[in-house]
Amino acid sequence: MIRATQSLLFAVIYSIYLLVVMLPFQRFVLRPLCTLNPVRRPAILRWWFRAQADWVLGMARSLGGLKIEFQGGPLPGIPLILVMNHQSLLDIPVAVSLLRGPYPVIPTRAPYTRWIPGISGIANLGGFPSLKQSGRASRAEHAAIVGAAEAVGRGERTLIIYPEGHRSKDGEVLPFATQGLRLVFRHAHNRPVYVVVIDGAWPLRGFTDIAFRVSGQRVRVRVLGPFAVPAGRGDHEAFIDTLRAEMLATLDRLRGRETPLGPPASGTSVNSGAPGVAGARAPLGPRSASVAPHAPLVG
């Protein structure tokens, strides 16, 4: 009963925050400020995204009773590509909290860019590609992903991508939708790739789950990388396979299905407060994994 009450308290206060603070502030302060001062827009949005991620996770911990442990991170303050498995609505603030470089661009399911108070506003401010996930990508969706990847390649943005496309019901890694990743690697091959694996968040898939179950939930986050994107396009499919294999192996270890975890990612430390600086490397080992070709993009 106490945990349910604590979880509900977090959900109520966060809902009020979305409606009373975040929505009007973005509409009447942040958007005009970015329009009037375009040179400062990247710095303003970088601050806003980090502030929102830290605020959500801070409230989830202090009010909601969420227990979250980071193994590795934060990430270097450079443009990069972050590939993460998808378990919960909390995955996005977790990923954004690790960033220290340019503000993120996140391919997002269309409803989240239109109908969610506060959340849709921040997605539009960030210029997130809006995806319907209705089979193959439309021309507009393809162009939006390419534009986002090119911005990362130019060093203007950081890209966060959830290649499973949907939140997992049991936390297991779903087949990857590879079309979006291939486009990203084609147009931002000069940027390092980091893999982030989260576990323990899958019982919190939706807002209703969070409202009743966040208290006492233990979530672990592990950072892997950096990995170098192969220069040749023909190697990108195998690169995606090995990234997924890294994700699968790490999730197995987090769940006690393999040997204990080794040291965190190169250039990072457990619960480190300083970004790592490391040379990119290729994914470890020749492991392969099943991939769903031409599946819907990410969301």
Contacts 24+ apart (CB under 8 A), 259-264: 261/71, 261/222, 264/71, 264/72, 264/73, 264/222, 264/223
Which residue has 């979006």 as its token pair?
A: 180
pLDDT (tens digit per residue) in 282-293:
554 333 332 222
Is 286 among the domain residues? Answer: no
Exposure class string for 14-36: b at 16+ Cβ within 10 A, else e = beebeeeebbeebeeebeeebee
CA angle 249, 255, 256 (to 5 degrees): 90
The dihedral sign for the CA sequence 181, 184, 188, 191:
negative
Q: What single DSSP character describes residue 19?
A: I
Assess whether pLDDT exceeds 70 at residue 53. Answer: yes
pLDDT (tens digit per residue) in 26-51:
999 999 999 999 999 999 999 999 99
Helix axes 236-254 and 178-187, enclosed angle (nearest 10):
120
Which pLDDT band holds residue 271 (cuts at 50, 70, 90)? very low
C-alpha gyration radius of the chain: 18
Is 96 among the domain residues? Answer: yes
Domain count, the chain: 1
Is 259 among the domain residues? Answer: no
Give the amino acid at 42.
P
Residues β-bridged to residue 130: 108
pLDDT at 297: 34
Range of the domain at 36: 2-254
pLDDT at 133: 74
Is 167 among the domain residues? Answer: yes
Is 195 among the domain residues? Answer: yes
* 3-class SS of residue 267: coil
Is 285 among the domain residues? Answer: no
pLDDT at 259: 52
CATH code of 76's domain? 3.40.1130
**Residues 254 and 220: beta-carbon distance below 8 Å:** yes
Q: What is the pLDDT of the chain when averaged over all its residues?
A: 88
What is the average pLDDT across 59-74? 96
% of the chain at pLDDT higher than 90:
82
What is the average pLDDT across 187-214? 97
CA atoms of 274 and 296, how far apart (whole Å): 36
CA atoms of 45 and 30, how far apart (whole Å): 9
pLDDT at 115: 87
Cβ neighbour number for residue 155 with a 10 Å cutoff: 14
pLDDT at 282: 54
Q: pTM of this prediction? A: 0.87
pLDDT at 78: 98
Q: What single DSSP character describes residue 182?
A: H
Which pLDDT band holds residue 137 (cuts at 50, 70, 90)? confident
* 3-class SS of residue 198: strand
Question: How many residues can be counted in the chain?
Answer: 299
Is 262 among the domain residues? Answer: no
pLDDT at 281: 56
Is 168 among the domain residues? Answer: yes
CA atoms of 231 and 205, how far apart (whole Å): 36
